A = this chain, B = another copy of it.
Amino acid sequence: MQNLKYPKGAVLWFTGLSGAGKTTLAQSVSSELILRRYNPYILDGDELRRGLSADLGFTEDDRIEHNRRVAEVAKLMAGAGVIVIVALISPYRRDRSRARNIITEGGHPFFEIFVNTPLAICESRDVKGHYKRARANQITDFTGIHSPYEEPLFPDLAVHPEKESITESTSLILKAIFPSLPPR
């Protein structure tokens, strides 16, 4: 139930491989938005899996459902005037497109931002050790190893954290979203 007396929100949907830098960039963009007196909130895929989607696994069906729930929550939060920053692998084009539909039908701007770090780099960093465990088959259904990551064909923006500094990627994102952000 949208509160029409309050400024509308928006959804920035960061998609990319595990370890691509989605969360780091989300935090950086969030900080910049706070400085501009927006109210950003990061919906982190890993965190949501411990709460809202605690009943789901990593099969294709479960990923689809996880994606759908995150989109529904982002829509609700945008309705409360929040600039929602979703940091979610969201490997399937179909699901990201569905998220866009859910959010734009809710009346909110949606930006698909592709955090385009190549698999080889994500895997060589392997901050959380996920890739190592995936290669050893201690984790199954891992995106990029056992299951596909479908790169966005027409993202609203692509950033390349392996070639750009965090500041540079952040600036690109702000530049891309600002013309369409609701005024404060």
Residue of B at shortest CB range from A76? Answer: B73
Shortest Cβ distance from residue A176 to the other chain B in the assembled complex, whole angstroms: 22
Interface range on chain A (Cβ under 8 Å from partner): 20 to 34
Shortest Cβ distance from residue A75 to the other chain B in the assembled complex, whole angstroms: 7
- In the complex, A102 Cα to B50 Cα: how many Å? 12
Q: For chain A, residues 158 to 184, give those with C-beta under 8 angstroms from any C-beta of chain B.
A: none
Cβ contacts A to B, 20 pairs, < 8 Å: A1-B41, A1-B44, A3-B30, A3-B40, A3-B42, A5-B34, A6-B34, A39-B80, A41-B79, A41-B80, A51-B72, A51-B102, A52-B69, A52-B72, A52-B73, A55-B65, A69-B69, A76-B77, A77-B80, A82-B82
Interface residues, chain A, with chain B CB atoms under 8 Å away: 1, 3, 5-6, 30, 34, 39-44, 47, 51-52, 55, 65, 69, 72-73, 75-77, 79-82, 102
Extra contacts besides A3-B39, A55-B65, A76-B77 (19): CB < 8 Å: A1-B41, A1-B43, A1-B47, A3-B40, A3-B41, A3-B42, A5-B34, A39-B80, A41-B79, A51-B75, A51-B102, A52-B69, A52-B72, A52-B73, A73-B73, A73-B76, A77-B77, A77-B80, A77-B82
